[in-house]
Structures are given as C-alpha cells and as structure tokens.
Chain A
Amino acid sequence: MYNIVSAIFLAENIKKIEIQAPRIAKKRKAGQFVMIRVSEHGERIPLTIAGSDPEKGTIAIIVQGMGKSTRELNMKAAGDTIHDIVGPLGTPSHIEKFGTTVVIGGGVGSAIAYPTAVALKEAGNHVITINGARTKDLVILEEEMKAVSDEAYITTDDGSYGFHGFVTRKLQDLLESGRTIDYVLAIGPVPMMKAVAEVTRPNGIHTVVSLNPVMVDGTGMCGGCRVTVDNEIRFACVDGPEFDAHKVDFRNLSDRNRMYLEEEKLSAEEFSHKCRIGLDQ
C-alpha cells in the first residue's frame, strides 16, 4: 500500500496526486512512468511521472478520469492509499543542448511534457512551450509551463483562451515566421502527435513523441505494448515510451489502442452504476 499525500483537481476531471514512493522519487528522470494498480482487483495502468520531491520521498502523477481505473484513481483523496505502484520505468527522455526546442502538450499530455521541458531548460536550451486544451477550463500547468519557458503559448480549440486553434497551427506559425527550431517534443492524443509529426517532417526537425499503448507488466515481459517504429517491433515500456515521431506508425498505435474498447466501456458503465448506488445511500 502506498500513501497519498495530497490530491487536488487542476481542472475538471484532471487531478494531481502526490504519492509516497521514496525509491521512485529518488531515481526518476524526465520521461519515465510508473505502473499503478489502484485496488486489489485493479488492472495495471501506466502513468507518466509528472514530478517528484526526493526529500519528501514523493512523486506526482496527473490523471484525467477516462476509464474505470483513472476515474477510481481520481476519487482518491489525501490519506487514501494506492494498492501497487512500481517504477520508474521506461527509458528517460534524451536530453542535450539542442538549441531552440518546442515542447507541445495537448490536454493532459501537458503534464507528461512538463518534466521534460524542465530538463531541457536545465540543459541550456531555449524552451518554447505550446500548452493546448479544448477550452479554457481545461488548461493545466499554465504557471508551471510559463516558469520554465522562454516563450509560453496557450492554445484552445474553441478560442476561449490564448491562441484560437490547434497546437499544430501555432507550431506552423512559428516555423513560417522563419524561426530555426532544432527539437520538438509532442505529447497528447494520438491524432495530435501524428499531426505534429507531419508539420515537422518536411523540415526534417528532430521530433519526439511519447506513446501510450496498452500495457500489462510495463517491464518488458509481455510485449503487449509493442509499437511499430521504422517498420520494426519495439516495446514502448523498455525501448520507449519516447520515439522518433517521423518513424512511428500512428495508425497501428491507434488501432491497437482500440483492442479493449468494448470491455473498457463495460467496466466504465459498471463503475458508474456502482458510484450511483453509492451516492443514493
């Protein structure tokens, strides 16, 4: 059992949870993830580590309630426990002084991109962040992103805040303004990452994405998280989760992520039903 030290909503349905996990807090590097099993009968889900405090021995995760497990996790409060957590897993982000870097986070992807933005800044890069959300209320980590950025942009799909449009439009604008960009990191929904890859492909800009396939063990044992990169099978849990965006087969990734759609729906419905019964009591 692992203790939750704090749990606060950053936006509707998006919660930041700090968990006591001293070994992980000490070891984790930007880009790595943990596998979490919320309760005794839970599934193992991968969540990227959003930050850590080695002194306090805590790590932070930022979770959007989507399916059963993430919603169950988002109902947790300070003082509650999580059944199992293991990490840090995956290969850390490759950090060096690239020059001008653009870090793009879409939705809750901003939480995953943030630690790498910090590491890029520490390595002496010029950091531009593009923090995208559907609407104003869903923008997260605005202040944090701003603090590590040389230039910080916010985009909303509906124009309710910041730049009106997708993150790719903002990236396109930067490129069209004649800026030299040496490195792009894009983390968010698969269509967004794919779109970013297409924007940077013609210019051959080194572009990295963090992939989110279904995982079971997360340590390289099962191969469930295999992705196609450069026409080869790679395991996101040990070879990734970050890969060269121009070599990733995004179609295969989104197909494979549909594998348990029906089961996920069933689980979520049963969970909603139980929650409603709980509320009635």
Chain B
Amino acid sequence: MDVKPMTTKERLAIARQPMPAQDPGERVHNFKEVNLGYTPELAQKEAMRCIQCKDPVCIKGCPVNIKIDKFIKLIADGNFLGAAKKIKEDNILPAICGRVCPQEDQCEKVCVLTKKYTPVAIGNLERFVADYEREHGEIELPDVKPATGKKVAVIGSGPAGLSCANDLARLGHAVTVFEALHELGGVLMYGIPEFRLPKDIVKTEIESLKKLGVEFVTNTVVGRSVTIDELMQEEGFDAVFIGVGAGLPWFMGIPGENLLGVYSANEFLTRINLMQSYTFPENDTPVFDCKGKNVAVFGGGNTAMDAVRTAKRLGAEHAYIVYRRSEAEMPARAEEIHNAKEEGIEFLLLMNPVEFIGNEQQWLTGVKCLRMELGEPDDSGRRKPVPVKGSEFVLPVDMAVISIGNGSNPLIKQTTPDIEVSKRDTIVVDINTMATSKDAVYAGGDIVTGGATVILAMGAGRTAAQAIHEKLTGTAPHFDEW
C-alpha cells in the first residue's frame, strides 16, 4: 500500500484512538480481558499521529528503550510483523508490557504531543503488534549470537528474570531459570488477573524464550532446594541473577486480622489466578464465596484494584476500596481506577480501618473505620491523613483483602549471608550494573526496589544482563545492532 506522506498538521489533526473495551455491565460477570485491542485500521490511524521526532524522547522514557519511533512508523506503513520484530529487539514481552506498563508515567508522559494534545497511544500500539503477530502464527525469534560456553542461573521467572534470561540467551549464554512455583511467570501468573493479562499470552511469550534455548526448572526454591553457592561451585554456573520479586505481604497490625475471611491480596489473587479457584470444584483450591457478599479491599495501588475487581466478578454485592488518603494520592494507574469505577466498585476514601470485627465462629462481620482528613504533607510529599475525632463507624463486610504492599522474602539473606541487604531486607546493588556485594551475583526487580512495576523489573533484568555479559566475556554487548 502506498501511504501518502502526511504533513505534521494533518497528523496532529487526528484524535487519539480510544481502546475498544468490553461493556462494564457485561465484563463484571466474566474474567475475559477488559480491553479488546485495536483493529488494524485503528492501529494504523493511531500510528499516523506520531510525528517522528528527530530526537524521540519517548525512547528515553522507556525503561527498556524500545525503538518506539521506528516500530510506530512500521505500523503506519502497514508492516505489522516488521513492527513486532522491531519491538522484540528490545523487549521480549510486548504483549504483556503493552497491557500492564504504566505508559502514562513513562514513554507517553514525555511524548512531545502530550503538552498541547494527547500523547500517541504507544502502549496500545505495542499491544496491537504483539497480538497481531501471535494471532497470525508467525512469531519470529530474534537472532542468537554464537554460544559463549558460559552458564548463567536466573532465579525467578517473573518479569525481571525473563528479561534478563532473554538478553543473556541472545548473547549466546546458556541460561537456566529456576522458579519456586509450579507455573512460570511469577507475578504475571499469580498476581495480575486474567481480565487484565490473559494467562495464555504469558505462556506464549515464555514459549518464545524456550525456543531461544532458555531452560526452565519449576518447583525449585533457591535458598532451600539449592543455594546460590551450590549453583556456582557445584553446578558450574558462572554468574547468577536474582529476580525473586517481593516477598511476605504486609498486614496492618490491627486487631482481628486473623479472623476467617481476611486475606492478603497475594493470597486472594494467588488462589484466583494461579490456582484458578473461581472454577472450584473443577480445580481443587477453594476461595471465599463472594456471591452476594460485601467485600472491602484496603489499599490504593494496582494490586488493590485487581483484588476488588476480582471480588466483583465473583459476585460481590458491594465491593469497596477503602483508602486512607484521597483519590489524588492513589498509586494505582488512572486507567485501572477508571475501569474499577465503571464496574461499580465503591470508593470509600479518607477512611482508615482500626479493627476487624468477627462473630462467635470467628468469621469477619465488619470493620471499624475512622474518617480521615488531609493534613500537612508527609515524607512522601503526599498530604498526611489525620483522623477526624469521633468519626468511628462500622462498615459491614464479609470478606476483607489487605493490599498495602510486601516486604522482602528473607530466604536469600538467610542462606547467602555474603549478599548485602538493606534494613528493609532488599538486596543492595550498584544501579549501573545491578551487581550485588557478592562476586558474579546480580539482582533486580522488586527484591531490589521493593514493590514496583513489571517494566521497571524488566529494565533491571536488562541492565544486569549487559553487566553479566561484560563480566563473562570482557566485552560490552551492542543491543543497537539487533
């Protein structure tokens, strides 16, 4: 197809193409994906909005530096498979990142159109080409360099581990990924729900890594089943990357947290996503029956939104977000808050739980809350919520999910004491190389930063892969050549 060259003015006249989505009334009754994805026509139209800046700042806004201008140009030209190949030079998981990256805080935030217009929908376009490639059965594998004879162990098969494994495999190293659970994908499998990230997509993207030669070993808890020292000394690994993610969920430390019906977000979501308990008894793992019940989720992050929207889909009569600050301070993506509201999630803001209340059988029946008001800014720069005197009341709920973040799993620290950790038990690294205090051992993702995003973890995995390659071969990799 011959595309007429467009003027910048013409490009700017095109409005941002909205993402088609399942109707809210319908989607609250199923676990199918909310967003339906662009059609080729919508994608091409959206791609034409990109003015192809000489200095594409969007690339710098991307933690893995996808060549955004180039792949969008290929879409505009109708070369969708070429666009997919271009993205894969830098990102092995485009179908995942196109769905779960906070583009509004990264590439799209710095898009030059953002100031006067709306940014190019980079995330939607990334998702489109990845889906197009998968649905047309022509997933192309990136080039792999000749074998170096070096062995690298990657601990954890979440976003950090997968991206590190991808780069290392392409650089010619023999990579083995160790996963503690029975399924690969880490938080992509157990944490993010099907309606936001279909599990088949995760599986397909991991298949690509297998085809690149990456070996995966499930059911292996490094630190327990085998230690890092044993991997290096007895099993011949030349370097190790630790991408084990966040660990132990935090609880609030208020009375009644151990009542029946109180979950951590990790447990609730793991039961649903990994163990598929919403199909019980077809799958053996049960979960609290939310049908017709009142459910409260405590927290304001993406995980809280995932949990509350899941509860609604399981038939909750009322599904509340209880958050102690106001909506402006919520860490969740604007899109997720918007989707949640569309689905009938009730937001109880400026409200702080002080006690869970149960019946004689110890089942949760309600939560005592205090109303809050915003005071002076605190250390995080956000206005600090202060309780309103005498505002105590009881919110009747049958199930509660606590979604206030995670600490670090202490296992690596306990079993590899020569790796330096912070006071919060996160692993201390040199941020330029992700090298830990132990020789040839690197780390990245939530185990370093504390709870963060999929793409930041992937960026860290990538940085570590470069440093590992340099360490093992003495030469720097040239990703731009790919």
Find out whether the CB atom of B284 lies under 8 angstroms from the CB atom of A43.
Answer: yes
Interface-located stretch among A128-136, A178-186, A199-207, A257-265: A257-265
Flag whether A270 is at the interface (Cβ < 8 A): yes
Interface-located stretch among A114-122, A154-162, A216-224: A216-224
Find out whether the CB atom of B247 lies under 8 angstroms from the CB atom of A233.
Answer: no
Find out whether the CB atom of B225 lies under 8 angstroms from the CB atom of A27.
Answer: yes
| Chain B residues whose CB sits within 8 angstroms of the CB of A41 once the complex forms | 282-284
* Residues 75-116 of A contacting B (Cβ, < 8 Å): 83-89
| Chain B residues whose CB sits within 8 angstroms of the CB of A56 once the complex forms | none
Flag whether A15 is at the interface (Cβ < 8 A): no
Find out whether the CB atom of A219 lies under 8 angstroms from the CB atom of B260.
Answer: no
Flag whether A256 is at the interface (Cβ < 8 A): yes
Bound form: Cα–Cα A220–B220 in Å: 14
Find out whether the CB atom of A223 lies under 8 angstroms from the CB atom of B248.
Answer: yes
Find out whether the CB atom of A23 lies under 8 angstroms from the CB atom of B280.
Answer: no
Flag whether A124 is at the interface (Cβ < 8 A): no
Q: A41-B282, A238-B410, A256-B258 are in contact. Are A222 and B264 (CB under 8 A)?
A: yes
Find out whether the CB atom of A255 lies under 8 angstroms from the CB atom of B409.
Answer: no
How many chain B residues sit at the interface, stated as a range, is: 35 or more
| Chain A residues whose CB sits within 8 angstroms of the CB of B261 once the complex forms | 259
Taking the closest CB of chain A, its distance from the CB of B290, in whole angstroms, is 13
Flag whether B15 is at the interface (Cβ < 8 A): no
| Chain B residues whose CB sits within 8 angstroms of the CB of A250 once the complex forms | none
Find out whether the CB atom of B260 lies under 8 angstroms from the CB atom of A258.
Answer: yes
Taking the closest CB of chain A, its distance from the CB of B78, in whole angstroms, is 42
| Chain B residues whose CB sits within 8 angstroms of the CB of A37 once the complex forms | 182
| Chain A residues whose CB sits within 8 angstroms of the CB of B251 once the complex forms | 223, 226, 233
Bound form: Cα–Cα A227–B264 in Å: 14
Name A263's contact: one of B263, B267, B286 (CB within 8 Å): B286
Bound form: Cα–Cα A238–B263 in Å: 18
Bound form: Cα–Cα A220–B288 in Å: 21
* Residues 249-284 of B contacting A (Cβ, < 8 Å): 249, 251, 253, 257-258, 260-261, 263-264, 266-267, 270-271, 275, 280-284
| Chain B residues whose CB sits within 8 angstroms of the CB of A87 once the complex forms | 221, 224-225
| Chain B residues whose CB sits within 8 angstroms of the CB of A43 once the complex forms | 275, 283-285
Flag whether B226 is at the interface (Cβ < 8 A): yes
| Chain A residues whose CB sits within 8 angstroms of the CB of B409 once the complex forms | 219-221, 238
Find out whether the CB atom of B281 lies under 8 angstroms from the CB atom of A89.
Answer: no
Q: A23-B220, A27-B224, A235-B248 are in contact. Are A86 and B180 (CB under 8 A)?
A: yes
Flag whether B218 is at the interface (Cβ < 8 A): yes
Closest residue to B407 on the A side, CB-wise? A220
Find out whether the CB atom of A222 lies under 8 angstroms from the CB atom of B258.
Answer: no
The 9 nearest A-B residue pairs measured at CB: A263-B286, A222-B267, A43-B284, A86-B219, A223-B264, A84-B182, A255-B362, A43-B285, A224-B267
| Seed contacts A43-B284, A221-B270, A222-B270; 11 additional CB < 8 Å A-B pairs | A43-B283, A44-B182, A87-B224, A87-B225, A216-B267, A219-B411, A222-B264, A222-B266, A258-B362, A259-B260, A267-B286
